Amino acid sequence: MHSANHWGGSFEIYNGAAESTTDDEKSRNMEWDKAALQPQRHHLDETQQSWLLYRQETKKKKYVDFGCIACSHRALKWTLYAFVFAVLVILLPTVLAKTLPKHRSKPSPPDNYTLALHKALLFFNAQKSGKLPKNNGIPWREDSGLQDGNGSDFSKLGLVGGYYDAGDNTKFHFPMAFAMTMLSWSVIEYSQKYEAIDEYKHARDLIKWGTDYLLLTFNSSASKIDKIYCQVGGSQNGSRQPDDHYCWQRPEDMDYPRPSRVVNAGSDLAGEMAAALAAASIVFRDDEVYSEKLVRGAETVYAFARDLGKRQPYSRGKPYIEPFYNSTGYYDEFIWGATWLYYATGNINYIRWATEPGFSKHSKALYRISELSVLSWDNKLPAAMLLLTRCRIFLNPGYPYEEMLHMYHNKTELNMCSYLQQFNVFNWTKGGMIQLSSGRPQPLQYVANTAFLASLFVDYLNATRVPGFQCGSKFIPLDVLRSFATSQINYILGDNPMKMSYVVGYGTKFPRHIHHRGASIPNDKRRYSCTGGWKWRDRPKPNPNNITGAMVGGPDRFDRFRDVRKNYNFTEPTLAGNAGLVAALVSLTSSGGIGINKNSIFSAVPPLYPPSPPPPPASLELLNFLSPTARALFIVLLFLKFRFRALVYTSLYTRYVHYCATSGSSCYTVHSSKQTVALLSYQCKCLWEID
């Protein structure tokens, strides 16, 4: 008997010497299962089979069967690990970002234009009249002019508030309204920049301070008015009576009469006030009640401007206005005010008036007169035409406005060409300042306004990816015009032969003897009389109070500047001048990004093309009524939904039949031997058929 071999074979050694195997083969064979060397294979019993089956099943459990695929345990495990790791990698940064304290990166330092802009806005705080807010930020200023407009029949507040115009204590409403329009325009175009430099709320507060006051100057709750207050205070040249020019007093100490001047005609004043209120209504679009109040006031005062009986300059025959703010016309304000009212209301009548050929003719808008390309408190033409060019660029209203808009666009480009030194339209100082006022004093206000227009026009074209414009046969890249704008503002900020900043408080060298009553008299709790303040006027020492941000009148045509308080042509700042400076600075600053807010100004403008009327019912009667030629044309027009914007003219020598494609219209026949007719009318789609 042999011992049992539970691994499937006997321990009996097969005697195969006759096979003549070698010693090596015998040695190898000993390592193998003896049963494997048997020439015959024994059948396995059930126990042995179960052992083999058990081993196979054990191997199969090393894999996981998902039905369509089998995966080993090890591969599945690493797949799960990888999935968990990927989830952690994706979610962990998000969780950490929300839970860990935030460390904001340090913002880049503001550019020079931003630094100057912060200061230029403060000038308006220093010019405020009335009961000042606690956060006004000018320590040497207090409440003033609280008795202004006593007896006004429009408001219980009288005429308290608003802004003093310059270094005196007069409130001129014409340049004040222009300043508010310019501030509003800059906020509308560059709101994102104001927000980025944290001046958005400040700028809006300044605008509201002005527009609240302008609403007091006429009966803004009425639908029709017959008078407007044009100024408070003032003086006549050569006056020896106590008034705003004879006296040298802080506004807080004024004790002389301050008459409120009223006009019963003045389209220029009314048109500018309408522009100011309408532009501000866009700024305050988020305050529906106040915005609507501004719009109502703007429409009321513009109706006053258009009244045939009111059409004359507001300053005519007024000795207390003409020497200071004499208006030379009012048709530019017609266009200017109508344009802003169109943007504020979307009322198509206003763009119709803004593009009225008669207004253009009487204002000489399209004349090649260099002085008319200079924006100022008196001449709004270049600004109005630029605003209408904006309408053409971004809205393209087409007929019937396209002809005038196209001409205004061309004239705007000519204005921009005239600002470039290479075309020799204006003289330039050796130091690099363009002489827009023909060498007259106080040039910087015109320089700042023009820099703003040039910079804004560049941004308009950049927004439409237009690389430049034509000056005759010469193409001008936008960088050239932008360089002009920056060079002029840089001149104001100190890049000039005097190496002096003409903005108080900006840089290390700036004027110290500003022609300004409030800044030149210390707030030492002493009251100086009308003539008692003269000693501060004539004092050779610098002003005790810096009127930060004030842009002075500027140098002469030889780039020379005299820092003398009594010489107002050099050292007096103005409200209108600083408004232009603010607008130019915000257009040039790179803080908060570049470019304009393209669509905010159009928020009230409805689609210029009304929905097409439904096509007439294509009944058998109508189709049968038409001739085969007209029927085919009718079907083609319906299929293509064809729209005509312009009139198409043709000469007809035979009988014509006019079919109007509006519901309920009747057809009629036109007989003529020769006649010019329209293929499609503006009001309704019409078909013409040659019979």
Kindly state the helix (H) or strand (E) to which residue 200 belongs, with its residue range. helix 200-214
Distance of CA 274 to the CA centre of its chain: 20
The bridge status of strand 675-678 relative to strand 686-690 is: unpaired
Task: Identify whether 6 is a catalytic site residue.
Answer: no
What DSSP line would sit under 122-151, residue for residue?
HHHHHTB-BS--TT---TT---B-TTTTTT
Distance of CA 464 to the CA centre of its chain: 14
What DSSP line would sit under 379-410, residue for residue?
--HHHHHHHHHHHHHHT---TTTHHHHHHHHH
Catalytic member of 563, 621, 658, 671 = 563
Q: Three-state DSSP class for 95?
A: helix
| Interatomic CA distance for residues 341 and 534, integer angstroms | 45
| Interatomic CA distance for residues 519 and 211, integer angstroms | 25
Dihedral through CA 7, CA 13, CA 14, CA 19, nearest 10? 120
Q: Helix %, strand %, coil % for the chain, to 5?
A: 45, 10, 45
Structure tokens given for 556: 């002469």
| Interatomic CA distance for residues 89 and 132, integer angstroms | 57
DSSP for residue 19? G
* Cβ-proximal residues to 4 (8 Å cutoff; 6+ apart), any chain: none
| Interatomic CA distance for residues 533 and 544, integer angstroms | 13
Catalytic member of 572, 621, 658, 691 = 572
* Cβ-proximal residues to 370 (8 Å cutoff; 6+ apart), any chain: 418, 425, 426
| Interatomic CA distance for residues 217 and 160, integer angstroms | 10
> Cis omega before residue 400 (within 30°)?
yes
DSSP for residue 110? P
Catalytic member of 202, 409, 513, 515 = 515
Kindly state the helix (H) or strand (E) to which residue 468 belongs, with its residue range. strand 468-471
Q: Three-state DSSP class for 670?
A: strand
| Interatomic CA distance for residues 577 and 588, integer angstroms | 17
330 CB burial (10 A radius; 0-12, 13-18, 19+): buried
* Separate counts of helices (H) and strands (E) for the chain: 23, 14
Task: Identify whether 563 is a catalytic site residue.
Answer: yes
* Amino acid type, 229: Y
> Cis omega before residue 319 (within 30°)?
no
3-state secondary structure 336-378: HHHHHHHHHHCCHHHHHHHCCHHHHHHHCCCCCCHHHHCCCCC
Quickly count: other Cβ atoms within 10 Å of residue 358's Cβ.
10
Catalytic residues: 515, 563, 572
